[in-house]
Amino acid sequence: MEPQLLYSVTDSVATVVIRHPEKRNAMTAAMWSSLPPLLQTLADDPDVRALVLTGEGGTFCAGADISTLRGSPEEAQRLAVAAEEALAAFPKPTLAAVRGHCVGGGAQLAAACDLRLAEEGALFGVTPAKLGIVYPASSTRRLVSLVGPATAKYLLFSGELIDADRALRTGLADEVVPEGDLGKRIAEFTRILVSRSQLTQAAAKEFADGRRDRDAYWAGQARAGGDAAEGVAAFLERRRPRFGWSVPTSG
């Protein structure tokens, strides 16, 4: 079975599936390379209002396919960082749906998502110390922003795996659901996300990620977009709002 990234769009939610079951969904160089253009395609699709990243079967992603590190570890790391940054920059809400192992490059991808929902029994780990690899500065900063310096050092220094409950306590996971319920919970939560204002979500995402130079831009978008007026009207009329603002495409 060829390693690849699969995707589908249903009810305004794009689902990207990491598929490499022979190696617990480890990412090959080709898979890392294919993720940024795939994300750009989905970002430009006006029907897409949220994105879910998950792994095929019972594993999220066991990291990078080690066989791709033999020739040039630096090139493999460059590809992984480019994929991670593309995921972090995706302009709509992103969720990692984590089952089983979320390790190494898998944890790198999960950390780049806005939110991480995990199933009981999931295991998280950041494992470059097991290979003598220097974890990228951008990835380290992102990990620290999620879990704090002490937990980031624990993960990076030891390469040890932590369970879903500890991931929840430290901020690496945002919610843990019973085994077998993750798909249902993801469907419930994404239905909520796609019903909300994209304007609010896009601005909040930028501000939460540290952009401090876009207040005037978002104030202008709010004035021109009409979402606030629609939200108030829907509230007063006791109906579901029909928000009209959408994320601009790159084209």
DSSP assignment of 233-251 equals HHHHHTS-------PPP--
With both helix axes pointing from N to C terminus, report the angle between 73-88 and 105-112 in degrees, rounded to the nearest 10. Answer: 20
What is the per-residue pLDDT for 151? 97
What is the per-residue pLDDT for 68? 64
What tens digit of pLDDT does each residue of 34-79 get? 999 999 999 999 999 999 999 999 999 998 887 766 656 677 788 9
Residue among 98, 6, 96 nearest 51 (CA): 96
What is the per-residue pLDDT for 71? 59
The domain limits of the chain are 4-193, 197-237
% of the chain with per-residue pLDDT over 90: 73
The burial of 21, by beta-carbon neighbours within 10 Å (0-12 exposed, 13-18 middle, 19 or more buried), is given as middle
- Compute the Cα dihedral for 247, 200, 214, 148 and give only its sign: negative
CB 140 within 8 A of CB 152: yes
For the record, the structure tokens of 120 come out as: 């009981």
pTM of the shown model: 0.94
Q: Which residue has the tokens 């898979």?
A: 31
Cα(139)–Cα(12) distance, integer angstroms: 29
> What's the CATH number of domain 4-193, 1.10.10.10, 3.90.226.10, 3.40.1190.20, 3.90.550.50?
3.90.226.10
**Local structure of residue 2 (DSSP, 8 states):** -
Ranges of residues in the chain with a pLDDT under 70 are 68-73, 251
What tens digit of pLDDT does each residue of 134-155 get? 999 999 999 999 999 999 999 9
Q: Is 101 left (phi over 0), alpha (psi -120 to 50) or beta?
A: beta
Amino acid at 236: L
Non-local CB neighbours of 63 within 8 Å, separated by 6+ positions: 26, 27, 103, 104, 105, 106, 107, 127
Average of per-residue pLDDT values in the chain: 93
Task: Write out the E strands in 11-131.
Answer: 13-19, 50-55, 94-98, 101-103, 115-119, 123-125
What is the per-residue pLDDT for 122? 98
Q: How far is residue 164 CA from its own chain's centroid?
A: 17
